[in-house]
């Protein structure tokens, strides 16, 4: 329970290693680990101090020094640094002992009084408490959601939206320069299926009769888009259904247990005929109208869900860059021709199969756009790192994209691909059925409309992204301590209630009252108070770890623990007591808890209500 960041100790260790190298006690060619590589952990037993580092054991083997010998050298050097500093600014006055333990651990002990200093630190830093410079202003591109604009966002997209936006905010809070981007798949086959589905619904309004293709988009939103086009253009684009369905492969059918036809070939034939009958200009009317309406709907949904981007990046804009990327791969002898198509030698880079770049009809593939988008991010826009937040069904993209990095001579570590697992909704203990192409799915809008945005975001985030999530709708709506987001927000509301009650009891909490509280922090000596103080001091570490490991769920767990500590404290004793010193010191502690709850909730994209 100490007042300082871990960075203070890691800086001491780093400086000690540098001095030992300068004085030749360590080899001149020794590469000193940077601050982020120096491991430091809170001790579980206070007998072993407050923090422990195993740096001597890690470096002993490459330096060919016994771990305890190296630890002694580091301790001696740190003590020298502290002694020199104590003669000037007393920066390290709260460190009372540094001790060698076991096979080479270095244990750091802090004074008992230092634990209280976290409270004035929080009250001074306010919304900046917990910020760190882990990122050192590295330029990070993060792409998330990027659902095909072929229909409304569903609950599966919601988890990626919550994860991506929370991770972006956590990384930004941790000193990274973040660019948030939505990759709009406005080219390719799925958009053609959307446009053709819209045209078929338009023809129905024109009076044409036919069987709608099984692989078309069946959602009611398609009919709404077609209705708008019909109201504007009437029968202008009407064509006989017989012409549209002529000379195409039969649709999938099953008769007496016998399956015939092919739904993929059937819809591809309808796309081709639609383009021929309408002509390119008129076909684009259906294509663009469907794209614009669906994309506007997605934008609105995400904005309501507190997810916003700096950029909406069009796949169509990559066409020329895709061709340039393919030429670059050709120049590296990493392509070949087969069956009229151009292939990338992906298997040379640990992919499970080679990938088509240009089809036999001369059309570039979605993978060709991936090539261009990767180069656009890492080469043309010069991001230090690109994070692709993808659904778990896109796991094959990990070797594929990292292989592309290798092919272009780029460091594969410059891309990270966290996968977001699926979410299953449960109501009354039973899973809620959903599908996509049929249009019978639970939309993201339906979800947050039912449980609220705060609950939806928190429940999406409370498990690690790679873990499957069972989303309990009944629990998310409940107003009880079993509902974690309600429990956390209620802690914040309770603190606000305490301060509202002051005036009714003829008290206030002005600057003088706060200062009186801060002068008497040692009065906070109950088990509940000491436990709360320790929890408050953990917040910066939680944020840094959440950023380092891409784990917003660490913050959800932390906030629940902090709320639990506060509720236990609140229930144990009254806050508004007659004694000025006792009242104001408890109010100072409550103020610090309120700030940390607010900061943590904000990073998750949640509100901090003042009453509930």
517-555 confidence digits (pLDDT tens)? 999 999 999 999 999 999 999 999 999 999 999 999 999
Q: Lowest mean pLDDT of 43-47, 170-174, 530-534, name the range.
A: 43-47
Does residue 92 carry a pLDDT above 90?
no
DSSP 376: I
Does residue 93 carry a pLDDT above 80?
no
Kindly report the pTM of this predicted structure: 0.90
Confidence label for 284 from pLDDT (cuts 50, 70 and 90):
very high
Q: Sign of torsion, CA 22 23 28 33?
A: negative
pLDDT over 70 percentage in the chain? 97
Does residue 438 carry a pLDDT above 80?
no
Q: Helix, strand or coil for residue 379?
A: helix
Q: Sign of torsion, CA 200 205 206 211?
A: positive
Q: List the alpha helices (DSSP H) in 234-262.
A: 241-244
What's the pLDDT tens digit per position in 224-262? 999 999 999 999 999 999 999 999 999 999 888 888 999
Predicted local confidence at residue 434, as pLDDT: 61
Rounded to the nearest 10 degrees, the angle between the axes of helix 527-549 and helix 118-125 is: 50
What's the pLDDT tens digit per position in 451-477? 999 999 999 999 999 999 999 999 999
Query: What does the buried/exposed string (b/e) look like for 134-171 if buried means 16 or more CB atoms within 10 Å of the residue's CB?
Result: bbeeebbbbbbbbbbbbbbbbbbbbbbbbbbbbbbbbb
C-alpha 353: how far from its chain's center?
30
What's the pLDDT tens digit per position in 145-162? 999 999 999 999 999 999
Distance CA 528, CA 533 (A): 9
Q: Lowest mean pLDDT of 81-90, 467-476, 585-594, name the range.
A: 81-90
Report yes or no: 118 and 536 within 8 Å, Cβ to Cβ: yes
What's the pLDDT tens digit per position in 439-448? 557 899 999 9
Confidence label for 113 from pLDDT (cuts 50, 70 and 90):
confident
Distance CA 579, CA 590 (A): 17
Q: What is the mean pLDDT of residues 479-490?
A: 96
Confidence label for 27 from pLDDT (cuts 50, 70 and 90):
confident
**Inter-CA distances, 227 with 43, 201, 293, Å:** 66, 8, 12
Give the number of other CB atoms < 10 A from CB of residue 241: 17
User: Which of the two residues, 162 and 39, has the higher pLDDT score?
Assistant: 162
Q: What domains appear along the chain, each with residue ranges and CATH number? A: 6-110 (3.30.1360.70), 189-304 (no CATH), 484-603 (1.10.730.10)
Q: What is the mean pLDDT of residues 91-120?
A: 88
Predicted local confidence at residue 210, as pLDDT: 95
Does residue 394 carry a pLDDT above 60?
yes
Predicted local confidence at residue 29, as pLDDT: 85
What's the pLDDT tens digit per position in 486-501? 999 999 999 999 999 9
Phi/psi region, residue 493 (left: phi>0; alpha: psi -120 to 50; beta: rest), is alpha
Q: What is the mean pLDDT of residues 7-13?
A: 86
What's the pLDDT tens digit per position in 352-390? 999 999 999 898 999 999 999 999 999 999 999 999 999
pLDDT over 90 percentage in the chain? 80
* Burial label, 20 (beta-carbon count in 10 A; 0-12, 13-18, 19+): buried
C-alpha 401: how far from its chain's center?
19
Does residue 315 carry a pLDDT above 80?
yes
Residue 543 half-sphere exposure toward CB, CA atoms < 13 A: 33
Predicted local confidence at residue 256, as pLDDT: 82
> Closest Cα partner for 421 from 159, 165, 148, 154?
159
- Virtual torsion, Cα 534, 535, 536, 538, nearest 10 deg: 90
Predicted local confidence at residue 2, as pLDDT: 41
Predicted local confidence at residue 1, as pLDDT: 39
Distance CA 344, CA 355 (A): 5
**Mean of the per-residue pLDDT values of the chain:** 93
């Amino acid at each position: 329970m100490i007042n300082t960041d871990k960075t203070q100790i890691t800086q001491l260790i780093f400086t000690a290693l540098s001095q030992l190298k300068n004085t030749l006690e360590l080899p001149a060619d020794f590469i000193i680990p940077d601050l982020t590589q120096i491991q430091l952990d809170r001790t579980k037993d206070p007998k072993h101090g407050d923090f422990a580092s195993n740096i001597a054991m890690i470096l002993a083997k490459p330096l060919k020094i016994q771990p305890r010998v190296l630890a002694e050298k580091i301790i001696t050097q740190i003590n020298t640094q502290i002694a020199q500093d104590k003669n000037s600014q007393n920066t390290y006055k709260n460190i009372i002992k540094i001790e060698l333990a076991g096979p080479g651990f270095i244990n750091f002990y802090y004074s008992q009084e230092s634990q209280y200093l976290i409270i004035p630190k929080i009250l001074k830093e306010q919304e900046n408490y917990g910020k760190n410079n882990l990122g050192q202003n590295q330029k990070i591109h993060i792409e998330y959601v990027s659902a095909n604009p072929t229909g409304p966002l569903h609950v599966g997209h919601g988890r990626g939206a919550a994860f991506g936006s929370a991770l972006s905010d956590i990384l930004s809070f941790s000193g990274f320069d973040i660019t948030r981007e939505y990759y709009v798949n406005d080219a390719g086959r799925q958009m053609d299926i959307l446009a053709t589905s819209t045209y078929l619904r338009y023809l129905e309004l024109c009076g044409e009769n036919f069987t709608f293709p099984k692989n078309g988009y069946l959602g009611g939103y398609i009919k709404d888009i077609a209705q708008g086009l019909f109201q504007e253009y009437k029968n202008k684009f009407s064509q006989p259904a017989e012409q549209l369905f002529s000379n195409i492969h039969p649709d999938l059918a099953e008769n007496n247990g016998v399956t015939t036809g092919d739904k993929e070939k059937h819809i591809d034939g309808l796309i081709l005929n639609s383009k021929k009958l309408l002509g390119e200009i008129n076909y684009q009317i259906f294509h663009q109208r469907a794209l614009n309406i669906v994309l506007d709907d997605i934008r609105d949904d995400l904005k309501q869900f507190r997810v916003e981007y700096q950029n909406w990046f069009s796949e169509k804009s990559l066409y020329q860059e895709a061709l340039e990327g393919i030429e670059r791969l050709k120049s590296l002898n990493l392509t070949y021709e087969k069956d009229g198509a151009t292939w990338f030698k992906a298997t040379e880079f640990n992919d499970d199969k080679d990938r088509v770049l240009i089809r036999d009809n001369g059309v570039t593939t979605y993978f060709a756009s991936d090539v261009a988008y990767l180069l656009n991010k890492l080469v043309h826009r010069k991001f230090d790192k690109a994070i692709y937040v993808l659904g778990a069904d896109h796991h094959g993209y990990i070797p594929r994209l990292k292989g592309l990095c290798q092919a272009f001579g780029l460091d594969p570590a410059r891309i990270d691909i966290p996968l977001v697992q699926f979410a299953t909704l449960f109501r009354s203990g039973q899973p809620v059925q959903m599908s996509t192409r049929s249009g019978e799915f639970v939309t993201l809008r339906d979800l947050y409309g039912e449980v609220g945005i705060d609950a939806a975001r928190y429940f999406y985030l409370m498990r690690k992204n790679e873990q499957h999530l069972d989303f309990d709708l009944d629990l998310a709506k409940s107003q009880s301590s079993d509902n974690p987001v309600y429990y956390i927000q209620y802690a914040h509301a309770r603190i606000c209630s305490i301060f509202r009650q002051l005036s009714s009891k003829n008290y206030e909490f002005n600057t003088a009252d706060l200062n009186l509280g801060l002068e008497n922090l040692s009065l906070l000596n109950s088990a509940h108070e000491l436990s709360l103080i320790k929890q408050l001091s953990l917040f910066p570490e939680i944020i840094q770890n959440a950023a380092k490991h891409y784990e917003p769920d660490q913050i959800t767990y932390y906030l629940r623990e902090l709320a639990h500590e506060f509720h236990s404290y609140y229930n144990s004793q009254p806050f508004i007591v007659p004694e000025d010193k006792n009242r104001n010191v408890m109010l100072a502690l409550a103020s610090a808890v309120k700030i940390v709850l607010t900061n943590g909730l904000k990073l998750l994209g949640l509100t901090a209500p003042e009453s509930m």
